[in-house]
Chain A
């Protein structure tokens, strides 16, 4: 079974600085998707960035980028120029690319609480 591990329960960063959140996963599959979601106090899960495992190039979305190391099964999120609005819980999630059987679900880590200090 696949697992997702986030080893940093809490992180903090100064406004305008850069922070990296860590995520590792375990799978025997070769094709899958990885996600970073943000959950602010409003509780809604908001997609930050997505990475397809077959793509070697790291995904980027404005100030957010990932370091995807497929062999090491590592998927870290870098937030540049941190803003007060970035403060939230951040979850790493995995989904198999196969749609058969029990593969359509998202498997989640425990999350990292990010505080942004002014």
Chain B
């Protein structure tokens, strides 16, 4: 039973560029949530997707956008990258409205 898969594992981008991170949920899960974890901090909620729509959003600017595909996989897009966007980005999958989450190993994004 595959867990949550995130790609890439590491990424280095230049300020102003755009980045796309990908997440494949655990088999049987239909909901994907994204979190940003800055160094030495706890994760911060970015947004959640199910039924291919953004259902809930945290306090992040519009530069952060996402998408969910019919197979429940998801993408996180960040435009106009800032140095402060450097962080570990975690994807968590679950069943809709359920509190059981499975996390991926994250994508480490470094903006230089």
Using a CB–CB distance below 8 Å, which chain A residues touch chain B?
4, 33, 37, 42-47, 50, 91, 93, 95, 97, 99, 101-111
Cβ-Cβ contact count across A and B, 8 Å cutoff: 58
B17-25, B73-81, B95-103: which lies at the interface: B95-103
B105 within 8 A of partner (CB): yes
Interface size on B, residues (CB 8 A): 25
Residues in chain A near residue B99, CB distance under 8 A: 33, 50, 95, 97
Extra A-B contacts (9), CB below 8 Å, given A103-B56, A106-B92: A43-B105, A46-B103, A50-B99, A93-B42, A97-B99, A104-B33, A104-B55, A105-B45, A106-B101
Q: Are B106 and A105 in contact (CB under 8 A)?
A: no
Using a CB–CB distance below 8 Å, which chain B residues touch chain A?
33, 35, 40-45, 48, 55-58, 88, 90, 92, 97, 99-101, 103-106, 108
Closest residue on chain B to residue A4 by CB atoms = B42
Given A91-B42, A104-B55, A106-B45; A45-B90 close (CB under 8 Å):
yes
Question: Cα distance A46–B106 when bound, in Å?
Answer: 12
Residues in chain A near residue B33, CB distance under 8 A: 104-106
Question: Cα distance A102–B48 when bound, in Å?
Answer: 10
